[in-house]
Structure 1
Amino acid sequence: MSGTMIRIRDLAVRIGDRVIASVPELDVVAGECVAIVGESGSGKTTTLLATLGLIEGADISGKIAIDGVDVLSAPVAELRRIRGSRVALVMQSPQAALNPTMRLGTLMRRALARHGVRGAEARSRAADAVTAVLLDPAILRRYPHQVSGGQAQRFAIALAIALGAEVVLADEPTSALDVTVQAEVVAVLRRLRDERGLAVLLVSHDLALVSTIADRVLVMKDGAVVESGPATDVFARPGDPYTRELIAAVPQLPDRPTIEPAQEPAEETE
């Protein structure tokens, strides 16, 4: 897997006369994590959902391609084919997106069946995928309410892996988790990016967390990109006043531990 997995040019999302998200240029290549940061209402999630073609009631212009598929002009059937099998969405609250009446294994096998994978292969893929995100395959016998938030988030990532997705769009994937579990989820994403060449487009307001995984960063304010570049450059030498304000707003506590690249996370206890 190589090359540009997400390519955006001159994206504009309008509701009436108002532009709620505008991104002149954004590329995400295999094995790279690009983060979109900014305050609430800055257009981060709008950009993410537009990339998947999941925004209704808005006028969207520009070019969006995922692994060569033109999202804005592709037939609905083609978009359904690549969603899951090529690109996956990891939501902010995974437990809210999981059917509470089904065991996790059933949920995963149903998703696989929609993409033509059934029987022994589906069971094997499910077990391999949860193992890849450092979960015990026994978790597949549990219901969503029987797992922790961190386990549910890792299951959502495992679902993307089982489906064979090469691109993951993650919308605030750690916002509902405590700091320790945040580090575990980010460690899983980082390892999959490095070992499997996964392309990750991450939306987050947590600059400290973003600094531990992102290769490049886009900073958005009022629907527009105000700064972009390599993460180390943006955080060390911010050029836009708004970026400097965001960085200055991060609490600096003398005894606060820094988030280092995490070791393989231990299994959570319930």
Structure 2
Amino acid sequence: MTAGAAGAAAAPLVSVRDLAVRYGDRVVSAVPTLDVRPGQCVAVVGESGSGKSTLLLAVLGLLNGTAARVSGSVVVGGTEMVGVSERTAGSVRGSAVSLVLQSPQGSLNPTMRLGRLARHALRRHGIRGAEARRRVAEALEAVRLPADVVDRYPHEVSGGQAQRFAIATAVALGAPVIAADEPTSALDVTVQAEVMAVLDRLRREQGTAVLLVSHDLALVSTVADHVVVMKDGAVVDAGDVDHVLHRSTVPYTRALLDAVPRLGHDRATEEEVTGA
């Protein structure tokens, strides 16, 4: 039984109901229902402008206080994120859900060593001293980074190592959900597979849930349990990965699939990717 299947009966860590994000009269992202449970990877796919990244921003509470009008419900770790204060949303980000960006090196302070950056993130959530150091060490081991990476500056690590460090920081924070926004788009194909294998292993071994935003259906096919397809701000297809990627009759989904040169049917394991 996969981690996703085992978590299917568990209560959702992220629950979206009747979400609508508007700018003026235009709806840019509408999601009737979406659940992410422990150990599951739910992938939201679609072309640029489909509304998938806006959905992620709503889950993280990053649209509150902006020009966007958000209605419906987004519950993360038991907290309603729609309309809450930034203080409340900020406490949820990191403790209940952590964000992994497209290009982590661009978001890392170049004047600070990685260890200090990780400890700073933990300190914001009240984790300090020996406990912070223990968590960082265990998280680095979980993503298979060397312990001495904490002594390096961001420019001294590769893009893949920086992305693994971002994932390690999320793990150290103890967030049960990782929200990943195109986490491999800036990496070459081999490193993409390595990073996604890390996320997949965290799901299988630690029950971490992953909400993945991606345009890469070949990559999604290797890790996702459930796929949501968006177009022009609306959900046009959704279901388990096998149904959506191999049996869907929705024209837009078929068009996306036809644009993929080759879509593998087998999930890549970390051992297959790294040769471990």
Decide: shared fold, TM above 0.5.
yes
Specify the alignment match of 2:191 in structure 1.
181
- The alpha carbon displacement at 1:239 in A equals 2.2
Q: Which amino acid aligns with 2:47?
A: E
Provide the secondary structure at the position in 2 that maps to 1:92: coil
1:259 to partner: Cα distance: 6.7
Distance 1:239 1:69 in 2: 36
Match of 1:136 in 2: 146
Residue identity opposite 1:134 in structure 2: R
2:17 matched residue in structure 1: 9
- Which residue is 2:252 aligned to? 242
Letter paired with 1:128: E
Counterpart-to-counterpart distance in 2, 1:259 and 1:190: 10
1:264 deviates by 7.3
RMSD over aligned CA atoms reads 1.9
Match for residue 32 of structure 1? Answer: 40
Aligned match for 1:72, one of 82, 88, 93: 82
SS at structure 1 position matched to 2:21: strand
- The residue that corresponds to 1:147 in the other structure is 157
Q: Is the 8 A contact 1:187 1:264 kept in 2?
A: no
Residue matched to 1:109: 119
* Counterpart for residue 214 of structure 2: 204
Runs (5+) with no aligned partner, structure 2: 1-6
Greater helix share, structure number:
2
Distance in 1 between residues matched to 2:124 and 2:92, nearest whole Å: 12
In structure 1, the gaps of 5 or more residues are: none
Match of residue 243, structure 2, among 233, 251, 255:
233
Amino acid paired to 1:148? S
SS at match of 1:174: coil
Q: Deviations over 1:199-239 (max 9, x none)?
A: 11000011010000000000000010000000011111112
CA distance in 1, matches of 2:273, 2:254: 32
- Matched AA of 2:44: I
Q: Aligned pair 1:53/2:64, yes or no?
A: no
CA distance in 2, matches of 1:15, 1:22: 12
Could you report, residue by residue, the CA deviation over 1:18-67 in whole angstroms, capped at 9, with x for unpaired residues? 11001011000111000000111111101111111112210000000001
Aligned length: 265
Superimposed CA distance per residue, residues 114-152 of structure 1 (whole angstroms, 9 cap, x where no aligned partner): 111111111111111111100001001000000000000
Same amino acid, percent of matched pairs: 60
Structure 1 Cα separation of the partners of residues 114 and 142 of structure 2:
16
2:215 alignment partner, SS class: coil
1:84 to 91, 94, 99: 94
SS state of the match for residue 117, structure 2? helix
How far apart in 1 are the matches of 2:49 and 2:19?
Answer: 17
The alignment's TM-score, normalised by the length of structure 1, stands at 0.94
